[in-house]
């Protein structure tokens, strides 16, 4: 997937519609990128302006690791992505006063008899300032 989407609620929905068309191998490769460098993952899939990019780069490393692992889990399981923009921060561009909140709820079940994996959950992000 080479197309980039705006980092807005509608852009995230459009990304997800394309993302679900990817094969498992592509999603696994994508998850590796998200888990190791979530900023790169966002920059690969979404149009980030300079202020948004600087904002992500300014987040604490521990938070970025947690965010990356959560996004990676969601990518592998094709769980729904939901971006809520409480005060249109993305229309203005994420600024240093923005608060980013990401909630990840993902569960995986492995069926040893069939070899099948079932993933359920959601990755939700909220931007406020």
Sheet harboring 116-128: ordered strands across?
A: 81-85, 116-128, 99-111
Residue 75 has what pLDDT? 85
pLDDT in the model for residue 90: 46
- What is the β-pairing status of strands 116-128 and 46-47? unpaired
Helix (H) or strand (E) holding 116: strand 116-128
* 61 vs 8 pLDDT, higher one: 61
SS3 105: strand
For 11-55, write each residue's pLDDT tens digit.
888 998 998 889 999 999 999 999 999 999 989 998 887 777 887
Q: What is the pTM of this model?
A: 0.71
**Cβ atoms 70, 26 nearer than 8 A:** no
Q: Return the percentage of the chain with pLDDT > 70, whole number.
A: 74
Q: Mean pLDDT score of the chain, rounded to an integer?
A: 77
């Amino acid at each position: 997937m080479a197309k980039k989407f705006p980092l807005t609620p509608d852009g995230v929905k459009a990304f997800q519609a394309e993302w679900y068309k990817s094969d498992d191998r592509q999603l696994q490769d994508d998850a590796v990128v998200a888990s190791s460098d979530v900023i790169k993952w966002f920059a690969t899939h979404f149009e980030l302006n300079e202020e948004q990019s600087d904002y992500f780069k300014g987040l604490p490393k521990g938070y970025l690791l947690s965010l990356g692992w959560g996004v990676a889990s969601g990518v592998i399981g094709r769980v729904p992505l939901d971006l809520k923009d409480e005060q249109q921060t993305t229309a203005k561009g994420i600024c240093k006063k923005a608060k980013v909140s990401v909630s990840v709820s993902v569960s995986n079940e492995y069926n040893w008899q069939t070899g099948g994996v079932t993933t359920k959950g959601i990755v939700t992000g909220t931007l406020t300032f």
